[in-house]
Amino acid sequence: MNNICTICARGGSKGVPNKNIKLLNGIPLITYTIQQAIQSKLFSKVVISTDSQKIANVALAAGAECWFLRPKYLSLDKASKLDAIRHAVSKAESKFNTSYDFVFDLDATSPLRKVSDIKKAFKCFVESKASNLITATPARKNPYFNMIEYSGTEIKLVKSIKGSSSPQSRQVAPLVYDMNASIYIWKRDSLFNDPSLINKYTVLHEMPEDRSIDIDTMIDWHLVELLMKLKLKK
């Protein structure tokens, strides 16, 4: 199979400044994901989509492909990541004169995933015959039990079960998941033809909570740093 992995990494992060190349236990954050992609041996190419030459230089040193900078319209806060992925795949297909079978996107801010997670997700995807795959972990908060809306005058649960009273414990509430932004997989044509991430042909692959932290804030950063150090001690 001719598979491509994209890794999208903008410069100018607000929650954690320069997080994609910030050293996490001595290694640039993005390098963890690049190494996982390469070690999986699933990909013909591992391609970085970035608007930062500094990120590009770090990615090249880690063994990824990065010969273009993402255009400004795909680098704004409101820009669609799906559009950035499509742009990167199109650039790669043009440069390498090929058409890919499957497209993976691995988020640079999810360094706790394992190579085995990538392989298991792909196995799940192929066996399911779905159009695309997302990864998620069971949510710690549940909209049927302990997530509320507050309008300023009224407090109510985010979701209710039609014709039934509210669950009295989280364990009996409907199971919900947090998307962990770790692994995405598409059939190539599905990526380009479907405008949305989730549709009736999307399959979910579950990952454990301790490998599902998506770094967005310094609290996330310190938690991931601590978990990595604890695992090294085992």
Domains of the chain: 3-138+177-233 (3.90.550.10), 140-175 (no CATH)
Say which residue, 233 or 40, is predicted with more confidence: 40
> pLDDT confidence of 234, banded at 50, 70, 90?
low
Q: 9: closest CA among 37, 30, 36?
A: 30
Neighbours of 234 (CB within 10 A): 4
Amino acid at 144: Y
Q: 111: closest CA among 233, 230, 210?
A: 210
The pLDDT tens digits of the residues spanning 174-187 come to: 899 999 999 999 99
The arithmetic mean of pLDDT across residues 4-30, rounded, is 94
Q: What's the token pair of residue 63? A: 């063994």
Q: What is the CA radius of gyration of the chain?
A: 19
At residue 71, the pLDDT reads 95
The arithmetic mean of pLDDT across residues 38-65, rounded, is 98
For residue 2, pLDDT beyond 90:
yes
Say which residue, 161 or 156, is predicted with more confidence: 156
| Cα 9–Cα 14–Cα 17 angle in degrees, nearest 5 | 75
At residue 119, the pLDDT reads 98
- Of all residues in the chain, the percent with pLDDT exceeding 90 is 80
CA atoms of 72 and 76, how far apart (whole Å)? 7
CA atoms of 13 and 48, how far apart (whole Å)? 16
Say which residue, 196 or 160, is predicted with more confidence: 196
CB of 174 closer than 8 Å to CB of 202: no
Mean pLDDT of the chain: 94
Strands 3-8 and 102-106: parallel
